[in-house]
């Protein structure tokens, strides 16, 4: 949780305590205030407060004539000493004689120059320990940062959410040291894990935002203007952490900013439509003729292992055919079930339409025709009994690893299937989403109207299709100007 400062006072000093609480929380700390009011009392309450003090960064007691005689304030000071917490007495009203249990302590006197003494008081607060996680840092920032409006808060919160998604994305080949740490969720990564080799973190985040995605939750790719907004949100967050001394000194924040600024400035702006990687067509058919590995060709090879390898090959073949033909996002293709492919369609020479839920909950149809034979062979190889499932929700693409046999294929495994084929053919990195770009480009080049391509890809607006894929030759536009003259003036005379 965010690092806590515990404040103890009497009921008469509660108003001042709340003012001081606001000053402390503006620095990014969580503050717990306890007074000697009737609702704050009892054995259960004392136990909870003792637990709070035990984990607090510091314990402050507001010193006044009333608190000087308060048994409860004295007990809180004793608990702070017991658990070796930093104890800071704060004089807020003139008190002729300080209580005995504060003898010899450095008292912050806020009865004099409040502004100067407050600054000195805040400087005495220790910086959070190395257990502060990215999730804690996010919560502290959103709760306490001075953001201008609710809209800004929402925008920066989304920026941090995307940043954590980026850190948790295990499909990329260029991973920073902080992304290689073992963790359950990115929120649990300690801030102390950031090191000098993580300096390109903002640049990698920007590149991730600009790259296509098969995960509908992250909404990629983003336009450059949106990427700038997301970067601004994350950099503001990091600056907040640095201002409070929470970033490890070995993480070079200034260098991280400079790397992303200089790199993005040097890159030419993209003009024209997205282009699929060269030779991607070869990847589509890689698994059609993939040879059996040498280890499985040996005499005495385990028959079950050979059978599982062949099942996986047929699955991979059907997957790549489906990705290439439908242009579907990987999450959409992996959501397909066996009941989406009735027997009567698998043997017909007709287009099969399967409704899926795309980006933003928008429904559209994936279309299958040339890929149906590969899908049919894969289904037949899995066994006829699968078709008799009563659940009606048997996945089409599943794992054939004995550990996960029959479970729906994951996005990470599907990504590896594509990568394995690309590497075997000596091609650069190709992702499942590249097939979507390839299919769109193929349809455009074949002369199909933009509204047809829009419907095929499931875009909500034809402008999205136009922005990503439509190309217009300036000379053709010139020809249109020359070949479409104004009306003959004689017709109006």
Among the four given CATH numbers 3.60.20.30, 3.40.50.1820, 3.40.50.10140, 3.40.50.300, the one describing domain 4-123: 3.40.50.10140
Q: CA geometry: angle at 58 spanning 3 and 87, to 5°?
A: 175
What confidence tens digit (pLDDT) does each residue in 448-491 have?
A: 888 898 999 998 887 777 777 765 555 556 666 777 777 777 76
Query: Taking the mean position of all CA atoms in its chain, how far away is CA 475?
Result: 43
What confidence tens digit (pLDDT) does each residue in 13-50 have?
999 999 999 888 777 678 889 886 666 667 788 888 88
Separation CA 379–CA 395 (nearest Å):
11
Best CA proximity match to 313, nearest among 369, 381, 214: 381
Q: How far apart are CA 81 and CA 95, in angstroms?
A: 23
Domain boundary assignment for the chain: 4-123, 134-266, 282-440
Question: 112-145: per-residue pLDDT in tens?
Answer: 888 888 888 887 876 555 567 888 888 888 876 5
- With a CB cutoff of 8 Å and minimum separation 6, the contacts of 451 are 462
* CA–CA distance, 117 with 113 (Å, rounded to integer): 6
Say which residues have a Cβ less than 8 Å from residue 304's Cβ, sequence separation at least 6: none
Assigned token pair, 400: 């054939």
Mean of all residue pLDDT scores within the chain: 83
Query: What are the residue ranges in the chain where pLDDT is below 50?
Result: 1-2, 384-385, 387-390
Instruction: Tell me the C-alpha to C-alpha distance, in Å, between residue 445 and each of 63, 270, 438.
Output: 79, 20, 10
How far are the Cα atoms of 14, 337, 378 from residue 389, in angstroms, in the given order? 66, 11, 17
Question: Looking at the annotation, which residues are catalytic?
Answer: 329, 359, 433, 436, 459, 468
The verdict on pTM exceeding 0.85 is no
Classify domain 282-440 at the CATH class level: mainly alpha
Q: Per the structure block, which two tokens stand in for 201?
A: 């973190």
Q: β-strand 30-34 against 86-91: which pairing, if any?
A: unpaired
**Residue 98 DSSP code:** -
**CA-CA distance, 154 to 135, in Å (whole number)?**
16
Pairing label, strands 108-109, 352-357 = unpaired
* pLDDT recorded at residue 480: 67
DSSP-derived 3-state class of residue 463: helix
Cα–Cα distance measured from residue 52 to residue 45, given in angstroms and rounded to the nearest whole number: 11
């Amino acid at each position: 949780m965010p690092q806590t400062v515990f404040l103890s006072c009497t009921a008469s000093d509660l108003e001042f305590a709340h003012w001081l609480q606001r000053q402390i929380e503006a620095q990014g700390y969580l503050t717990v205030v306890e007074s000697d009011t009737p609702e704050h009392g009892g054995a259960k309450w004392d136990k909870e407060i003792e637990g709070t003090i035990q984990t607090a960064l510091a314990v402050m007691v507001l010193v006044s004539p009333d608190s000087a005689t308060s048994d409860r304030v004295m007990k809180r000071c004793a608990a702070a000493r017991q658990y070796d917490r930093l104890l800071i007495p704060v004089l807020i009203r003139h008190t002729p004689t300080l209580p005995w249990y504060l003898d010899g302590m450095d008292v912050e006197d806020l009865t004099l120059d409040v502004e100067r003494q407050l600054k000195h008081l805040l400087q005495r607060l220790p910086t959070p320990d190395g257990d502060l996680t990215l999730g804690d840092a996010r919560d502290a920032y959103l709760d306490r940062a001075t953001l201008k409006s609710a809209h800004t808060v929402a925008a920066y919160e989304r920026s941090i959410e995307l940043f954590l998604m980026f850190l948790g994305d295990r499909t990329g080949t260029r991973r920073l040291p902080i992304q290689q740490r073992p963790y359950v969720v990115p929120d649990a990564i300690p801030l102390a894990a950031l090191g000098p080799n993580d300096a390109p973190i903002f640049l990698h985040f920007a590149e991730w935002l600009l790259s296509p995605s098969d995960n509908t939750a992250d909404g990629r790719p983003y336009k450059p203007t949106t990427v700038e907004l997301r970067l601004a949100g994350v950099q503001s967050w990091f600056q907040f952490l640095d201002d409070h001394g929470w970033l490890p000194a070995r993480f070079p924040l200034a260098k991280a900013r400079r790397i992303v600024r200089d790199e993005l400035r040097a890159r030419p702006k993209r003009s024209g439509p997205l282009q699929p990687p060269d030779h991607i067509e070869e990847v589509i058919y890689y698994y059609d003729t993939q040879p059996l590995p040498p280890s499985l060709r040996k005499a005495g090879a385990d028959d079950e292992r050979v059978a599982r390898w062949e099942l996986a090959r047929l699955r991979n073949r059907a997957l790549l055919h489906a990705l290439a033909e439908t242009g579907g996002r990987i999450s959409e293709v992996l959501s397909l079930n066996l009941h989406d492919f009735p027997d009567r369609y698998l043997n017909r020479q007709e287009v099969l339409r399967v409704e899926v839920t795309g980006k933003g909950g928008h429904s559209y149809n994936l279309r299958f025709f040339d890929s149906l034979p590969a899908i049919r062979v894969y289904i037949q190889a899995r066994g006829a009994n699968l078709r008799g499932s009563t659940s009606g929700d048997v996945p089409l693409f599943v794992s054939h690893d004995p550990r996960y046999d029959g479970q729906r294929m994951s996005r990470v495994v599907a990504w590896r299937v594509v990568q394995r084929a690309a590497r075997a053919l000596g091609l650069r990195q190709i992702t499942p989403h590249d097939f979507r770009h390839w299919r769109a480009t193929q349809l455009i080049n074949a002369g199909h109207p933009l509204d047809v391509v829009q419907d095929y890809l499931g875009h909500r607006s034809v402008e999205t299709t136009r922005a990503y894929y439509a190309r217009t030759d300036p000379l053709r536009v010139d020809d249109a100007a020359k070949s479409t003259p104004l009306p003959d003036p004689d017709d109006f005379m």
